[in-house]
Every structure is written in C-alpha cells, then in structure tokens.
C-alpha cells in the first residue's frame, strides 16, 4: 500500500504526466508490488494453511476428517475400525398414533457414504431405505472455523407404520458403501422392543459382504453383483451422488418412493 501511494504521488504530483522516460523507471516498482502481493499471500497461507488450494491434497479440510471414504482411502484406516469408533445403532420410535420413525444413531458423526437398510425379513421387510449420508454442520460459534465432528448424531431414515412392528425382536441390516471399497460393510442389528420403541442392546455384528460388488461411475453407485439382497435391484437407480435419504412406505409394492426431509439432529 505504501509503495502504491508513492507511485501515485510520483505520477500525479511530481511528474504530473506519464512519459516514455518514466515508464522504465516504474517497472522495478511494479515488480516490487507483485513481490509484496506474493509475500502477503504466503503469509496468509502460513497463518491459515487450510485455505491454500495447493496444500489441499496434503492438509485436508476439516470436513474431510469425518468422511469414511476419505479416511479409509487415503489414511489407511479400515472401515470396520471407523464404524467401531462411530458406534452405529438403530432406533425405531413410535410417533403419533401409528407412525414409526427409523433413526440411525452415531456416537461420532462419520459421513460421506451410500447406504441400504432393511428392517425385518428380507422377503417381507417392514422398512426399506437407501440413499447417501453427508452432514453439514454450522461453523464454530467462537472461532468461525468448520466443525469436523459432532457427538450423538441422530439421522432420520424414514417412516413406517407402527402396527407392522409386532415381534419382540426384529433383525435389521444396514449396508454401507464407501467410495474407497468394492464390497459393502453389513451391520446386522438385533432390535429389542421396549414399550413404544425398538433399539439394539448390543453392538451390531459387522461383516464384509463378498456377495455384493460395486463401483462408482461419475459419482453414481453401480451394483455389479448382488447375492443376498434382491430388493437392492429395485432401488439401485436412486444411488446417485445426491445428499438424499429415500424410503418406501410400502416395501413390498415399492410404488411410491419418498424423500426423508427431516434433518439430522444432536441429542
């Protein structure tokens, strides 16, 4: 800024005009201004390296630190180890007279993955949901920086009819499709009924499904092989790169897919 003011004074106060003789004299000043701007940017990136696009491959943004796909693909952390840290759980809660809300609970807010969930028998499921989970948290109120992780996240997955849930125990399968893998991770929950809700008393059994093979094309999940989950074939066209959660009110007919618009929340 000081150099720029000095140049303006030189042009309009001392010389009052630009001549052929003064132009070569201004070239070093122009070079000095460029160098000052460069060092100003360098100092800015030294103070806040996350804003430097050249360092984004080395220093990931805070939001990537909760991405299962990023951590398993670039930090060499297994998805099963991340799921143990996240401590996924399923919760079915009665709402109103005859509605059941299916909720995914995460102790740590890992995201950036596609999912497929069935509650009840595979041949006659009580609930069928699918889509992608990607969080968007408000920045820190004090520092203004992005919030990488949150605790005790509740992710609504959809609604069903409560009167369909009659058994004291129900089995549920939650399939997770990270970008960095080719076989999904299956978490099997045994949900126990307590009055007006179901929940899992123990941690889910987590396995890798070798019978299901997938890949990604232009951000879209493509199922290459599917053994054991035939209902997945009818919803695979919805596995697009959108942060949407879908479900079928009637899994058997699958006539009207709905979007779960209820936002994730913290309790």
b/e map 108-127, b = 16+ CB within 10 Å: bbbbbbbbbbbbbeeeebbb
Q: Which two tokens stand for residue 29?
A: 């000043």
- The most confident of 64-73, 75-84, 163-172, 231-240, by mean pLDDT: 163-172
**Average pLDDT of span 125-146:** 85
Mean pLDDT of 215-228: 88
Please state, in angstroms and rounded to a whole number, the distance separating the CA atoms of residues 248 and 97.
Answer: 19
What pLDDT is recorded for position 44? 65
Average of per-residue pLDDT values in the chain: 82
CA 124 remoteness from chain centre: 30
What's the pLDDT score for residue 236?
78
pLDDT confidence of residue 212: 92
pLDDT of residue 147: 80
pLDDT tens per residue across span 181-204: 899 999 999 999 998 999 999 999
70 or 165, greater pLDDT: 165
The dihedrals phi and psi of 131, each to the nearest 5 degrees, come to 145, -150
- DSSP SS3 for 134: coil
Q: 50-85 pLDDT, tens per residue?
A: 555 555 555 666 777 788 877 777 666 678 788 888
pLDDT surpassing 90 at residue 99: yes
The residue extents of the domains of the chain are 2-55, 62-266
| pLDDT score, position 22 | 64
Res 2: pLDDT: 58
Phi first, then psi: give them for residue 79, nearest 5 degrees. Answer: -65, -40
End-to-end CA gap in the chain? 51
Of the pLDDT bands very low, low, confident and very high (cuts 50, 70, 90), residue 231 is: confident
**So what's the pLDDT on residue 84?**
82
Q: Would the pLDDT of 48 be above 60?
A: no
Average pLDDT over residues 248-257: 76
Tokens, residue 47: 């103070």
Contacts 24+ apart (CB under 8 A), 228-232: 228/122, 229/116, 229/118, 229/122, 229/173, 229/175, 230/122, 231/118, 231/122, 231/125, 231/128, 232/116, 232/130, 232/175
* Residue 262: burial class (beta carbons within 10 Å; 0-12, 13-18, 19+): middle
Residue 180 has pLDDT above 90, yes or no: no
């Amino acid at each position: 800024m000081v150099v720029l003011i000095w140049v303006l004074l030189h042009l309009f106060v001392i010389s009052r005009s630009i001549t052929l003789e003064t132009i070569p004299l201004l070239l070093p000043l122009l070079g000095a201004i460029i160098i000052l701007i460069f060092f100003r940017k360098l100092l800015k990136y030294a103070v806040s390296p996350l804003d430097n696009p050249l360092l984004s491959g080395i220093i990931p943004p805070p939001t990537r630190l909760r991405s299962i796909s990023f951590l398993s693909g670039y930090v060499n952390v297994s998805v099963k180890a991340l799921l143990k840290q996240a401590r996924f759980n399923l919760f079915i809660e009665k709402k109103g007279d005859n509605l059941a809300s299916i909720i995914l609970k995460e102790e740590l807010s890992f995201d950036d993955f596609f999912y497929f969930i069935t509650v009840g028998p595979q041949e006659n499921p009580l609930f069928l949901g699918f889509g992608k989970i990607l969080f968007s948290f408000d920045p820190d109120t004090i520092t203004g920086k992005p919030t990488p992780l949150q605790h005790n996240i509740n992710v609504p997955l959809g609604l069903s009819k409560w009167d369909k849930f009659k058994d004291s125990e129900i089995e549920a399968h939650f399939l997770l499709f990270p970008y960095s893998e080719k076989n999904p991770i299956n978490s099997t929950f045994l949900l126990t009924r307590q009055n007006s809700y179901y929940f899992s008393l123990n941690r889910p059994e987590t396995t890798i499904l070798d019978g299901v093979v997938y890949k990604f094309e232009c951000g879209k999940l493509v199922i290459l092989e599917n053994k054991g989950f035939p209902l997945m074939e009818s919803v695979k066209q919805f596995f697009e790169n959108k942060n949407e959660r879908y479900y079928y009110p009637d899994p058997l007919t699958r006539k009207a897919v709905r979007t779960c618009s209820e936002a994730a929340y913290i309790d």
